[in-house]
C-alpha cells in the first residue's frame, strides 16, 4: 500500500532527501507520466493529445529511494501536469495544508526557517510549498546552482518511472483495456513497485543514485518565463533555498563544475 501521510513520515522523507540528494525540507519529487492506451469507445477527444495518441496520466510524488508516496491516476493527457496537479486530491490537500505536513524547520546547521516543499519541473507553478526552477537564459550563478540542486532532487521521480516501466513491461506498449481498468492497473503497479522494492532487494538492486553529475540539459537554463500567479511567500521561499545552496554550509563540492 501507499504510505499514510503523517508528520513523522514527512520528516523521514525530508531527512532522506537531504542525506542522499542534498535537498533539505523536501517532501518528494513530483511529475506526470503518460501511458498509451487503446482508443476508448465514444471518448471523443478526452484522452487524445497533441501527439494524436490516447493517453492516461499518472501524477506521482516520489521519495528519495524511488518509492511512490502519493499518486493520482486517470487524468486526461490533454491537460498539463500543472493543471492536473491543481485539480487532483494531492494538489488540493497541499494547498489546503491537510496532509499533516510539518511546520517550517531550520535548514541544516543554520537558523534559516524554511517551509517543507515538493519539487517539480517548469510545468508546475511556484508555491511556498512547491519549488520549480528559475526560468530564463541569463541567470545569476546562485540561481543556476539552485536549478542544479533542484534537478538532482527532481530526477528521483523520473528514475522511479523508469524502474516502473522496466519492471512491468505492460507499460512499454499500448495498453489494451478500458480507461477505468487502466487506472487500476497503474495503481496496482505502483503499490507492487513499493512492495517489491522493500522485500526483494535482489530484484530491485538499483543504486541510491548517489550521483553528482546531472547532464547540463537537465539543469533548466532555458526555461519559459512563468506566469505571475506566484505569491511573495513563494518567491521568498525559493530565494531562501537559493541562498542556502550557495552558502558554505549548504553547498556541495562539485556544484560549481556542473552549472
pTM listed for this prediction: 0.86
Residue 76: φ, ψ to 5°: -80, 145
Encode the chain (259 residues) as per-residue pLDDT tens digits.
688 889 999 999 999 999 999 999 999 999 999 998 887 665 555 544 445 578 889 999 999 999 999 999 987 656 678 888 998 988 999 999 899 999 999 999 999 999 999 999 999 999 999 999 999 878 999 999 999 999 999 999 999 999 999 999 999 999 999 888 999 999 999 999 999 988 876 655 544 444 444 444 444 444 444 444 689 999 999 999 999 999 999 999 998 888 7
Instruction: List the domain boundaries for the chain.
Output: 7-258
Lookup: cell for 82: 500543472
Amino acid at each position: 500500500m501507499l504510505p499514510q501521510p503523517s508528520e513523522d513520515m514527512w520528516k523521514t522523507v525530508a531527512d532522506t532527501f537531504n542525506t542522499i540528494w542534498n535537498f533539505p525540507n523536501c517532501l518528494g519529487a513530483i511529475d506526470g507520466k503518460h501511458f498509451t492506451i487503446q482508443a476508448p469507445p465514444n471518448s471523443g477527444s478526452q484522452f487524445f493529445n497533441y501527439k494524436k495518441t490516447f493517453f492516461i496520466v499518472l501524477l506521482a510524488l516520489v521519495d528519495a529511494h524511488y518509492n511512490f508516496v502519493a499518486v493520482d491516476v486517470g487524468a486526461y493527457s490533454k491537460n498539463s501536469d500543472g493543471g492536473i496537479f491543481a485539480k487532483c486530491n494531492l494538489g488540493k490537500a497541499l494547498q489546503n495544508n491537510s496532509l499533516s505536513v510539518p511546520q517550517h524547520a531550520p535548514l541544516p546547521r543554520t537558523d534559516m526557517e524554511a517551509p517543507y516543499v515538493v519539487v517539480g519541473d517548469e510545468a508546475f507553478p511556484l508555491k511556498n510549498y512547491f519549488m520549480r526552477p528559475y526560468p530564463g537564459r541569463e541567470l545569476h550563478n546562485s540561481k543556476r546552482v539552485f536549478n542544479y540542486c533542484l534537478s538532482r532532487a527532481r530526477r528521483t521521480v523520473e528514475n522511479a518511472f523508469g524502474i516502473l516501466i522496466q519492471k512491468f513491461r505492460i507499460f512499454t506498449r499500448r495498453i489494451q483495456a478500458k480507461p477505468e481498468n487502466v487506472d487500476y492497473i497503474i495503481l496496482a503497479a505502483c503499490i507492487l513497485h513499493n512492495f517489491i522494492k522493500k522485500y526483494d532487494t535482489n530484484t530491485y538492486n538499483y543504486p541510491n543514485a548517489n550521483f553528482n553529475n546531472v547532464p547540463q540539459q537537465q539543469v533548466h537554463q532555458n526555461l519559459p518565463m512563468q506566469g505571475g500567479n506566484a505569491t511573495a511567500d513563494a518567491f521568498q521561499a525559493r530565494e531562501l533555498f537559493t541562498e542556502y545552496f550557495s552558502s558554505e554550509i549548504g553547498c556541495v563540492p562539485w556544484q560549481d563544475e556542473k552549472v
